[in-house]
Chains A and B, each alone.
Chain A
Amino acid sequence: MSEVNTAVSHVHRVAQALGEPSSLLALREAAWRTFQELPQPYVEKTDLRKLTWEIGSFSEQVGKVPAEVQAYIDRLQHSYALFVDGLPIDFRLSEEAKAAGVTYCTIHEAPEKAETLWKANFGTVVAANENKWTALNQALFAGGVFLYAPKGTHMEAPFETIYVWTGGEAGAYSRSLVIAGELADIRYAETVFAAAAGAKVVNSHVLEIVAMADSRVQVSTADAFHRGSTHFVTRRARVDKDAHVLWTVADTSDGTCVELVENELFGPGAKGLARVVGLGHGRSHVELTASMRHVGRHTESEIVMHGVLRDKANTIFRSRTEIVKGAVGAGSEQHDRMIMIDGTARADAIPMLLIDENDVQRCGHAASVGKIDPTQVYYLMSRGIPKSIAVQMIIWGYLHDTVESLASEPMRDLVVARIERELSR
């Protein structure tokens, strides 16, 4: 059997195992062809020529939930969906969410349960033909949720999707679609637990967010992608008139990752905020772009990126603001700061401003890479605090605001523990 046939049968097997309608299979097959046709992409700071395009396997065997994950789940009070190696394992919809009339199911059930919304939105925020890895995701996606919050829904408690990869040869192609109806105010979170992969494969994760007019969506992510494979992550929100999408991204991956978090500020008055904290450690290579694309008039955005690097980590933080022709009166701010703890690490802070409109309200950016400020260390030490504790206090202070804005207490604790583990060495 040729390689292509193997892969196509793989597409079929994924679709069948997940019990999808046949209409979806056609979508997958088309995306697979797109994946094959699209050329090898160019990514500025990540040499893809050395990386594999081998795809991972898909198991129909339900994997065991690792103890660490179970302990995490046990603490959750809110609605969640748990996927292990792409398969749905556990699912909870809170009474509050039920009462609000929220549609919450796996992404595979959505074409039947929410046909109209599905057709209108799936693949419109992150399209299959955007690049090779978004095509790959649409061909092979397994695991992920569909969430629709009807008009006026207001919920403090988040909906959380937990993706677990137990290692082995499984490929990771998660995909979720979140739609906030008009005037809705909701929180959504994605948390990744992953063991080191048994095989080097290419993975692609997608999150599509649709924020309808006047809605507000707070999205939190806690990624820890594993060593061995290559991870492409594409998370994007389409933000309609006067809607507001706020991202908090916490990345502690130790693998090779090319990640994008983006707001398309589509409607007039749309607003976006992206806060990112990254901890580079080991031999991680993370190229993370936080991007705001201003399309509507009087749109506003802010990007705040904070990186801490240890060991031989290589972290690239790119803050990108694009103001297209016609996005009159747009305003944007970027702050990108990276702290090197070990001299062996490598950090790139790249601010990008792509402006095609003359009438811009303001457009500020600041980027820096450096060591911890010695005057801060001296000040803390002058009050009796030992140097090692002073350094940790300063780093935590620097990450504090972003970590605090994560969706829930268990999520904050998880991110703190992940960072603490690498900082306290």
Chain B
Amino acid sequence: MGKPDFRVQNLHVSVEGKEILKGLNLHIRGGEIHAIMGPNGTGKSTLASSLMGHPHYEVTAGEVVLDGEDVLAMSTDERARAGLFLAMQYPAEVPGVSNANFIRQALNARRGEGNELPVLQFHRKLQEKMKALNIDPSFAERYLNEGFSGGEKKRNEILQMSMLEPRIAILDEIDSGLDIDALKIVANGVNQLRSENIGFLIITHYQRLLNYIVPDHVHVMMQGRIVRSGDAKLAEELEAKGYDWLKKELGIEDETVEVEA
């Protein structure tokens, strides 16, 4: 399989009849890191959830294509098996299902029938990845996200990502609620994965994360679309000056389209 190629064209998404994304375009290739920034309520998380196929979000127009395949025609689990990964802002807690069992089921689903990873190999790989992310070994047998702190949940998302080796990884506010040490660990996890075989879409509203994960492309989202794109310097400029200058330049008074949770 060649380098991943992920294309979003003219994406329109509604939630309960209200249009949130209004024609969004994005093109991510293997080896690239794209960052999407923007104030709260501009549609960033809607983009992440709708790309993963959350049933709450309705795509009304546009195209999403991964390696030539129509993503919008796929169910959520098919998207994941095709190589799409979303590190969630608020991952669900599932009591009674151990982290290790969950990750193994997911990995084997991704690898396909007849190509399952033998149990021992799986556990060796899991322990290695956990060590790299500074995660306690007891993590494996704890129930999925149950009673996890905010930081543990985020690290668990990164652990899953590094186990599943997706082709396109979307990180939705992976930095929120993390202290600086946890942030470095998470960033380190992403940087270790960085290669020609994976493309990243990092959603954040703080520039802070981008000090540790240096993006190739930075996009600013307002009113449900990308209003400005640039390189890593754009993020620094936003950190220094805020968003108001950009709003003024673009003639935008209210940048929001939704009330984010």
Contacts and interface: CB of A to CB of B under 8 A. Distances in A.
Contacts of B55: 374, 378
Contact of B86 (A373, A375, A382, A389): A382
A390 B77 CA distance: 10
B148 to A, nearest CB: 13
Given A379-B94, A382-B52, A393 B77 contact: no
Band of interface residues on B: 20 to 34
Interface string A292-322: 0000000000000000000000000000000
Interface in A40-85: none
A383 B97 contact: no
Given A379-B91, A394-B94, A399-B96, A384 B54 contact: no
A381 interface: yes
Given A381-B75, A384-B81, A384-B110, A394 B54 contact: no
Interface in B63-114: 75-77, 79-81, 85-86, 88, 91-97, 101-103, 105-106, 109-110
A373 B143 CA distance: 16
Which of A373, A387, A389, A394 has most B Cβ within 10 Å?
A: A394
A397 interface: yes
Interface in A372-404: 373-376, 378-387, 389-390, 393-394, 396-401
A386 B77 contact: yes
Given A399-B96, A400-B96, A384 B164 contact: yes
B160 interface: yes
A378 B54 contact: yes
Interface string B142-169: 0110000000000000001000100000
A241 to B, nearest CB: 34
Given A383-B106, A384-B81, A386-B109, A375 B92 contact: yes
A172 B49 CA distance: 56
Contact of B80 (A384, A389, A399): A384
Interface in B116-145: 143-144
B160 A383 contact: yes
A343 to B, nearest CB: 18
B76 to A, nearest CB: 4
Given A384-B164, A386-B77, A376 B94 contact: yes
Contacts of A401: 96
B97 A396 contact: yes
Contact of A383 (B75, B93, B101, B102): B102
A380 B101 CA distance: 12
A397 B92 contact: no
A384 B92 contact: no
A382 B96 contact: no
Which of B53, B94, B109, B164 has most A Cβ within 10 Å?
A: B94
A387 B105 contact: no
Nearest to B81: A384
Interface in B47-65: 52-55
Contacts of B54: 378
A253 B86 CA distance: 42
B164 A383 contact: yes
Contacts of B86: 382
A399 B95 CA distance: 9
A381 B164 CA distance: 13
Contacts of B79: 382
27 contacts: A373-B92, A374-B55, A376-B92, A376-B93, A378-B76, A379-B94, A380-B102, A381-B75, A382-B77, A383-B80, A383-B106, A383-B110, A383-B164, A384-B80, A384-B109, A385-B106, A386-B77, A387-B77, A389-B105, A390-B77, A393-B101, A393-B105, A394-B94, A396-B96, A397-B94, A398-B96, A399-B96
Interface of A: 373-376, 378-387, 389-390, 393-394, 396-401
**Nearest 10 pairs between A and B by C-beta?**
A397-B96, A400-B96, A384-B80, A383-B106, A397-B97, A379-B92, A384-B109, A381-B76, A381-B77, A384-B81
Given A382-B88, A384-B109, A385-B105, 14 more contacts: A376-B93, A379-B91, A380-B94, A380-B106, A381-B77, A382-B85, A383-B80, A383-B102, A384-B81, A385-B109, A387-B75, A393-B94, A393-B97, A393-B105
